[in-house]
Amino acid sequence: MNFIVIFIFSFLLCVACDRPKATNTIKLEIAEELEELDMSPEPMQLPKEVPEPIIDKSSRVTFLGYHQIITRGNPGEMRIRATKFRSQMQVLKDAGIPVISFSDYMKWRDGTKEIPENCVVITIDDGYDDLADVALPILKEFKYPFTFYLYTNFLGGSGRTLNDEEVRALIEGGGELGSHSVSHDFLVRAKRKFRNESDYEDWLAKEIKGSKESLEKKFGVTVSSFAYPYGEYNESLVKKIADAGYSSAVTVNGAKSGYETPLYELPRYIIHGNNDINWKAGTSFRGKGGLVGAQNIIRSSDKAASNSSQIKVWPENGNEIIDRLPKILADVSVYEEIEPDSIRMKVSGFGDVPVAYDKDSGIISWAVKSKLRAAKYMVNLSFSEAGDKKRHFAAWSFLVNRNVFYLPDYKQRVKAERSERFNASNDESSSKT
């Protein structure tokens, strides 16, 4: 046994002696010479086509519409005092709401320029000389761009109208020139004045295309926007505006504009000198830099946050309905006595609407007479309490699901929706009695 162990040990020792001896020397062989590098820089090759910018399409734009800015006389729906006009410009600045030019808005719509999330475009109609004498210095003070719409028959007329030099000063001062027709007549209903279709078409061509060409020739600028006189338009007129070479047209329907708003139906909030309903609606952006979030008396969905002066409305703010002939309701029963003559409601696409007021239930209502065609509507309501001049203001919007209209059970769904609406109103009223 010991012999076997000694034999194995001797064998392993011999094997170990056959291993090569270690060395600390490493021999490097370079197969070929390294190529000398050229350290001189070469210019970067830019792509031949610049990629299109990524545009945020979620912005909401308010178009404000003014007429006369006066220093004398009484304010009215179309006349605002210069002091109030200036204070409104200051409020925009203090609230951090940017004022952009109309052309910036159009560049955004073309997908070539970004605009702020919430912003304002200022427009001024007709061509009164106070635009140059009174409004322009204020707009220059705040460095606000603006668009002004002229109708050519009013230009250079009586002493209260703009003359050519003043128009040029307005353009040099940051104003963009738009057309307001030739005569400022109703362009649709004027048709009844003409004996035949061809005479009306000739007249309409002068009002639309003629005013554009006249202004462009006289002032050497491109006139690309049109303001419908009195806000009156229809589908046929829109086509004529586009065919005449305008790229946009503005209405008097109070609503915000977005990326998908029809360019020939851009809504405006017409600012009045004797009340603030449109000003407040136009400058409210649902808490995103808006001015009147705390003043809006629409009841919050958060019951804990609601207070005794807030009202309930139907359709509810932001909700979608299917009824295309709805009754718009506002329960103002939290107020002891409303002055009926002070109640005013405006609905986008309809303007001022005739409301009914039930003193017993405290319900203000308006029944829509023609089918709703838009996907979204804005409602503005204002009123005063008896013996109090202070006006209370409410603004809300609702959506319309137009697709349900074509389903076979549409009438049954509408009936159910109306039942829920009235039950909600009745429950609310009964809880207060």
347 forms bridges with which residues in the sheet?
Answer: 351, 379
328, 183: one domain: no
Token reading at 107:
């560049």
Place of tokens 């000389």: 129
pLDDT at 420: 80
Is 104 a member of any domain?
yes
**Parent domain of 406:** 303-430
pTM over 0.85: no
DSSP E strands in 133-199: the ranges are 146-150, 175-179
323, 363: one domain: yes
384 forms bridges with which residues in the sheet?
Answer: 391
Is 265 a member of any domain?
yes
164, 274: one domain: yes
Task: Quick: pLDDT tens for 96-121.
Answer: 899 999 999 999 999 889 898 899 99
Task: Quick: pLDDT tens for 25-75.
Answer: 445 454 455 555 555 555 655 555 655 555 678 889 999 999 999 999 999
Residue 414 has pLDDT above 90, yes or no: no
Listed residues 282, 312, 337: the one ending a domain: 282
pLDDT at 432: 40
User: Which of 42-56, 189-203, 215-229, 381-395 comes out lowest in average pLDDT?
Assistant: 42-56
Is 145 a member of any domain?
yes
Is 389 a member of any domain?
yes
The H helix count followed by the E strand count for the chain is 11, 18
Do residues 160 and 133 lie in contact, with contact meaning Cβ atoms separated by under 8 Å? no
Residue 163 has pLDDT above 60, yes or no: yes
Dihedral of CA atoms 78, 83, 86, 92 in degrees, nearest 10, equals -80
261, 309: one domain: no
Rg of the chain (C-alpha set) = 35
In whole angstroms, what is the distance from residue 164 CA to residue 215 CA?
10
312, 407: one domain: yes
In whole angstroms, what is the distance from residue 342 CA to residue 336 CA?
15
CB burial readout 272-291, b (16+ within 10 A) else e: bbeebbbbbbbbbbeeebbb
Domain count, the chain: 2
What is the percentage of the chain residues whose pLDDT exceeds 70? 79
pLDDT at 300: 52
Listed residues 282, 315, 334: the one ending a domain: 282
What is the domain-level CATH number for residue 245? 3.20.20.370
Do residues 258 and 59 lie in contact, with contact meaning Cβ atoms separated by under 8 Å? yes
420, 354: one domain: yes
Task: Quick: pLDDT tens for 327-378.
Answer: 999 999 999 889 999 998 888 778 789 999 999 999 999 999 988 988 888 7
pLDDT (mean) for 229-237 = 94
Q: What is the mean pLDDT of the chain?
A: 83
